């Protein structure tokens, strides 16, 4: 059986980064749950009143809830 020796700092950095990634994903899911649902009729009314956005979104993420 082979064993791999990993320095404590390196292991800590890898674990820290992994926890950050998971936390960010879960936070996005939580934020999506808090967003109110908008019906197609409401969306058309919003677009009619305020026009469509001029710029494209900087970041778009699709997640399955």
What's the pLDDT at 14?
A: 95
Q: Is the separation of the CB atoms in 28 and 61 below 8 Å? A: yes
65 and 26 Cβ atoms separated by less than 8 Å: no
Residue 65 · residue 33 · CB < 8 Å: yes
Q: Can you say how many angstroms the Cα of residue 6 is from the centroid of all Cα atoms in its chain?
A: 31
- pLDDT in 10s for each residue of the chain, 65 residues: 788 898 999 999 999 999 999 999 999 889 888 888 888 899 889 888 888 777 777 777 777 76
């Amino acid at each position: 059986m082979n064993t791999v020796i990993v320095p404590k700092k390196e292991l800590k950095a890898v674990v820290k980064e992994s926890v950050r990634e998971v936390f960010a994903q879960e936070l996005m899911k939580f934020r999506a749950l808090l967003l109110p649902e908008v019906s197609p009729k409401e969306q058309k009314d919003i677009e009619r009143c305020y026009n469509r956005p001029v710029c494209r979104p900087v970041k778009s993420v699709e997640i399955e809830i």
